[in-house]
Amino acid sequence: MTTYQFPQGFWWGSAASGLQTEGTIPGDGKGKNIWDHWYEIAPEKFFNGVGPEKTSQLYTKYKEDVQLMKETGHNSFRTSIQWSRLFPEGTGEINQQAVDFYNEYINELIANGIEPFINLYHFDMPMPLQEKGGWLDRGTVEAYVHYAKTCFQLFGDRVKHWFTHNEPIVPVEMGYLYQQHYPAEINLEHAVQVGFHEALSNALAVKAYREMGLDGEIGIILNLTPSYPRDENDPKDVKASVIADAFFNRSFLDPAVKGEFPKELIEICKELEILPDYQEEDLKTIKANTVDVLGVNYYQPRRVKAKETPIDHSNGPLPEDYFDYYDWPEKRINPYRGWEIYEKGIYDILINLRDNYGNIRCYISENGMGVEDEQRFLNAEGMIEDDYRIEFVTEHLKYVHQAIQEGANCLGYHMWTCMDNWSWLNAYKNRYGFISVDLAEDGKRTIKKSGHWFKTVSEANGFTVE
């Protein structure tokens, strides 16, 4: 038997977002965001036609949900404030109903011994700002900073863990390179500008938080996907992995933690003449306002090799002009999500942060396994027996434990997600939660086997395996 014991005060919990859980009800005062708009104009793009208004109904069920968090061993939980709920126009008049809801929600978490971790932006641009260009427009940065300051003023007396963005590379990739999020463009120049404005908004929010003198910490949450070369001894493959890493990981990791952008990325942008519009003061702001803490979302690795296929010029330059993806023959795949399962990746990330990023305080802010049609695993008592999820989390936690033993400054583990929730274009196709949600029965919640198991892990601050 081997026991994996974690440091005292370790954060056990899960993560979600406001948009993917809250839902909408008539008269709640929420404004329209890009997801509401896209669903209105193109509902066929959404799995089974399920749009964001039909999310997991947390807006009306939050007290029940907090009790379920308690029953599944949460001592912490991350969610986001919906910008368009607090400011229906993105700026201007505040929605008092939203203030009341978030106050009550935060208070309910704290009253039940669950530390709230609050994120400010999770892909949900208010539509009035998107109509002016969204993150392409510098005015959005100013509006975001006003929104952030308002949140700090309203909730900062109780919320001690703030995060500026969740996965800021995703609006860049999915909105401006690969057409998976609105406005669904393929435009690397726009992608670069969007990324710069997000990085700047992070630094300005960090600056504002510190100027307010609040007694918490502020960070950012990044999906770090290690870029492994096909052959570690081939300089061309290694160079390909470095460039992929610069595009998709270091583009936000370096400015957030070191205050500077990767030189490889700057060189490519100069060569392509697509450097973003910026003011000289912006670089000083980014340099001077790095984060206190880093959230790490990890799902899968990225495997690359030197560019061997012809470059496709039909959509202009793209990151894939500089590398090809590599199909590793030894990979294990989650067949439902199509992602490689590679537990050691979580260890490699933490060691990289230890060695190359000042061993910044960090935690695993997302890790999880999406599975389709989980009702197949329903037992006679009505509980989903998701042993595959228990195995998935256990194997990743072993590597987190190893990294901590070797000096990594990792403070916690949050799984995606607490309860099954709505997921962008996929809606409820793949389920990730510790708790199942039955849409046919008004969102009825039932704890899965993994949720009961997670409570034992949290209470023991570790686990034992044969």
Q: Which residues of 315-354 are buried (b: 16+ CB within 10 A; e: fewer)?
A: eebbbbebbbebeeeeeeebebbebbbbbebbbbbbbbbb
Query: Residues 6 or more apart from 112 whose CB is under 8 A from it?
Result: 66, 67, 69, 70
Angle between helices 188-211 and 138-155 (to 10 degrees): 30
Q: Phi and psi for 335 in degrees, rounded to 5?
A: -65, -20
**Based on the number of CB atoms within 10 Å of its own CB, is 27 exposed (0-12), middle (13-18) or buried (19 or more)?**
exposed
Q: Which of 217, 366, 381, 395 is catalytic?
A: 366
SS3 11: strand
Residues in the chain: 466
> What is the Cα gyration radius of the chain?
21
**Catalytic residue flag (residue 366):** yes
- Reported as half-sphere exposure (CB side, CA atoms, 13 A), residue 179 has a value of 5
| Tokens standing for residue 293 | 């803490």
Strands 115-119 and 217-223: unpaired
Question: Dihedral through CA 423, CA 424, CA 429, CA 434, nearest 10?
Answer: 0
* Residues known to be catalytic: 366
